[in-house]
Amino acid sequence: MWKLSATLVCFLMCAVAHLTFTNLKCQMIDRQFGLFEKCLIKAVNRTHKYVDISTKIYKFPVDNVTLKLLPMRHDHGYRPFFVNLTFDVGGFFRNLQNENGPKELILRELFQTVKAYTNINHTCPYYHDVEISKLWTGNLEARFLRYLPMPQGDYSLSLNWYTSRVNRATVKVYFRLTDR
């Protein structure tokens, strides 16, 4: 019995990983809708980097926003390692205080991690451009990865943004998890 407890404690404690952004790709699918002005990774030091994304939106108001998350793990090519998740962004912000289930828990934790760095923080409609400014890897390690133990390796997270059921933009974040 103690071996099982020790294994579980080691798994939870050893699962703390170091996250490094390796690539970032932003694509505006509907160029009549908007433009990515900035989409880059900047190095803070040898181990930490941050992400800057800035969009210019041409069509206001932006309403009926849907986000599809596609997590992938590199194993002889990028392959799905978790379920694909679809969220109604406006509904998420309206029910932010309610605990609706595990799907919303993942989005809630991701939002709590990035909310200080973005202006996507209210219900629809949006009448402004969208920015993520200086999203640092240390925040992802401290907040998000403590709930989601993942094995070491290379990953990608594809965020597909829809408005009124039309795919408008895709942001792909590539990162590596290692033990310190």
* pLDDT value for 109: 80
The Cα 151–Cα 12 span in angstroms is 11
Q: Which of 21-25, 132-136, 143-147 has the lowest mean pLDDT?
A: 143-147
* pLDDT value for 128: 93
Average pLDDT of the residues in 108-134: 89
Instruction: Confirm if 51 and 21 have CB atoms less than 8 A apart.
Output: yes
* pLDDT value for 173: 95
Q: What is the pLDDT of residues 36-95, one digit of tens each?
A: 999 999 998 887 899 999 999 999 999 999 999 999 999 989 999 888 999 998 888 888
The three-state DSSP-derived secondary structure of the chain is CHHHHHHHHHHHHHCCCEEEEEEEEEEECCCCCEEEEEEEEEECCCCCEEEEEEEEECCCCECCEEEEEEEEEECCCEEECCCCEEEEHHHHHHCCCCCCCHHHHHHHHHHHHHHHHECCCCCCCECCCCEEEEEEHHHHHHHHCCCCCCCCEEEEEEEEEEECCEEEEEEEEEEEEECC
**Which CATH number goes with the domain that contains 84?**
2.70.220
Whose tokens are 């809630």? That residue is 108
* pLDDT value for 4: 37
Counting the structural domains of the chain, the total is 1
Q: How confident is the model at residue 13 (pLDDT cuts 50, 70, 90)?
A: very low
The distance in angstroms from the start CA to the end CA of the chain is 30
User: Whole domain around residue 12: which residue ranges?
Assistant: 2-178
What does pTM read for this prediction? 0.84
List Cα–Cα distances, 106 to 9, 166, 173, in angstroms. Answer: 22, 24, 17
